[in-house]
């Protein structure tokens, strides 16, 4: 599948909640999803409460349809309960690379 829509997000967890936020993202029951081609969770080396998320989807429509589902909305609500402040998003379309894990 080809990535046609994607983004990078930086999310700051409430103080001391970085591990919980990462675990929730990595254990999300609604992911993997057939239209989500890239899902990468990273964290800042200097601040464990700063989390970076990279997603690549087959289309913007597929991404929107997924996040309109009840399981995705429940995940977002749980994530929001762990975050502090506004998340930053940058549009990005992954074009290649190499899995490191």
- Are 84 and 15 in contact by the 8 Å Cβ rule? The answer is yes
Residue 101's pLDDT is: 62
Name all domains of the chain by residue range, CATH numbers in brackets: 5-91 (3.30.70.100)
Q: Is the pTM of this model over 0.85?
A: yes
Q: What is the per-residue pLDDT across 51-65, written as a single tens digit (0 to 9) for each?
A: 999 999 999 999 999
Q: How many residues does the chain have?
A: 101
- Are 63 and 34 in contact by the 8 Å Cβ rule? The answer is no
Low-confidence ranges of the chain (pLDDT < 50): none
């Amino acid at each position: 599948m080809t990535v046609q829509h994607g983004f990078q997000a930086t999310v700051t967890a409430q103080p001391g909640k970085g591990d919980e936020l990462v675990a929730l993202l990595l254990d999300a029951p609604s992911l993997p999803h057939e239209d989500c081609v890239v899902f990468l969770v990273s964290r800042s080396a200097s601040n464990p409460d700063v989390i970076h998320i990279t997603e690549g989807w087959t289309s913007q429509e597929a991404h929107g349809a997924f996040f309109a589902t009840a399981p995705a909305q429940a995940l977002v609500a749980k994530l929001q309960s762990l975050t502090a402040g506004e998340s930053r998003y940058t549009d990005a379309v992954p074009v290649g690379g190499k899995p490191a894990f």
